[in-house]
Amino acid sequence: MQRVKSDAAFSRACGLIPGGVNSPARAFGAVGGRPVFIERADGAYLFDVDGNRYVDYIGSWGPMILGHRHPAVIAALEAALARGTSYGAPTEAESELAELIVDIVPSVEKVRLVNSGTEATMSAIRLARGYTGRDRIVKFAGDYHGHVDSLLVAAGSSAATLGVPNSPGVTAGTTRDTIVLAYNDVACLTDAMSTHGDEIAAVIVEPVAGNMGCVPASGEFLAALRDITRQHSALLIFDEVMSGFRVALGGAQHRFGVTPDLTTLGKIIGGGLPVGAYGGRTEIMDHVLPAGKVFQAGTLSGNPLAVAAGIATLEQLRGDEQVYKRLESLAARLADGLVEQAERHNVPARVQRVGSMLTLFFHEGAVTDWDSAAACDTDRFAAFFRGMLDRGVYLPCSQFEALFVSLAHSEADIDATIAAAGEVLGELS
């Protein structure tokens, strides 16, 4: 594929934007080459500025579960746009989106809308500290909770890809109260809580990690998290910014039957527009200003366009019981096909999947934590990524990211992807 215009666009961007991108997740530093510049999207496809078409498995890093330009979302946005873009005042639509979230997500009795997943996790952490009167937070290596200073320690996603798990500018003081443990390690969790339990405000975890690749928490680990936090009167926070409404209608907590105290959300609840939210039990949420004293604010929180897109998306997901069966079927077809091709070409690899999130790891054994994820063959992944891109398949540009299947993908799209993977894996064997 020729990408002359993309190359020129990137050169221009590099003179104006640090690294030429507005998020490191869009950079191709981990895979080589220069990023593709997108002109438009439709259904399951992206189209770059050179006119090349790609089957899209990023879906704007998760939100586009319905596919791009879904008619219901576009209609909702057009109606909202006709009424104005921002008011800085309450709207009934905010309550409508809140009702949908409360009705669907098991842990949420009240919810506060914000503008991003990072805002959601930052606010949930502050609320947990304000509610408990404690300072310390537990997180897990490889889990990424946005670029919150106190949580940008042993982080996954682009922080892992770029080799800066502790970013310059994050001071020792801001991370002093963060305890980092191994993901999926019950003994480590038990020991830490036994030692520091009366100091810990909350434990925050991705129940399905998506930023060291798709790595689900084990049932034993989730049960231990719920039991041990209760024993020590600490809050359990599920970061479902990625897994919320993705791995099941009610998120990972619904799929796995474990209810946290607080939940952070994003991505899908904005239908492709910037949004985030955090919610939980009423007794906790009522500590947020102006009901309580824990400060959190945002001029554009509950933006009418984002809210409209989110309502339309959640209504589509809730309105058809076949939605998640179709997503499971398509994602399973892709996962099985990738495994078959890797085995056929004797390439050490495995696929891990939860719902419509999955990752092809260039690793022989199970990936259960950051140490096993970090053992993957990232050079082979980079070559695989480039080969797939040249065949019109747009994958995450990091071994440590999950890909996403949408309702817009067809079986033909999946089969074409598997065939392309077979060609590339054959070259890599």
pLDDT at residue number 166: 55
Q: Which DSSP string corresponds to 212-261?
A: SSSEEPPHHHHHHHHHHHHHTT-EEEEE-TTTTTTSSTTHHHHHHT---S
Give the CATH number, domain containing residue 27.
3.90.1150.10
Q: Which of 48, 239, 261, 369 is catalytic?
A: 239
Average pLDDT over residues 13-34: 94
Q: pLDDT grade, residue 307 (50/70/90)?
A: very high
Picking from 261, 296, 318, the residue at the C-terminal end of a domain is 318
Question: Percent of the chain at pLDDT above 90?
Answer: 91
* Number of domains making up the chain: 2
Angle at 126 between CA 120 and CA 127, to 5 degrees: 85
pLDDT at residue number 154: 62
- Token pair 């309550």 in the structure block, residue: 95
Average pLDDT over residues 304-326: 97
Average pLDDT over residues 234-261: 98
Judgement on whether residues 51 and 90 belong to the same structural domain of the protein: no
Judgement on whether residues 298 and 408 belong to the same structural domain of the protein: no
Q: Which of 144, 183, 278, 394 is catalytic?
A: 144
Average pLDDT over residues 40-44: 98
Element (H, E) at 420: helix 411-428
Q: With contact defined as beta carbons under 8 Å apart, do 100 and 88 qualify? A: no
Judgement on whether residues 137 and 261 belong to the same structural domain of the protein: yes
> Could you read off the pLDDT of 269-289 as tens digits, one per residue?
999 999 999 999 999 999 999
Q: Which of 267, 324, 394, 413 is catalytic?
A: 267
Picking from 261, 292, 318, the residue at the C-terminal end of a domain is 318
Judgement on whether residues 55 and 92 belong to the same structural domain of the protein: no
Supply the range of the domain harboring residue 150. Answer: 71-318
Picking from 269, 297, 318, the residue at the C-terminal end of a domain is 318
| Nearest Cα to Cα of residue 394 among 11, 2, 26 | 26
Give catalytic status of residue 144 as yes or no. yes
pLDDT at residue number 159: 47
163: pLDDT strictly greater than 50: no
pLDDT at residue number 73: 98
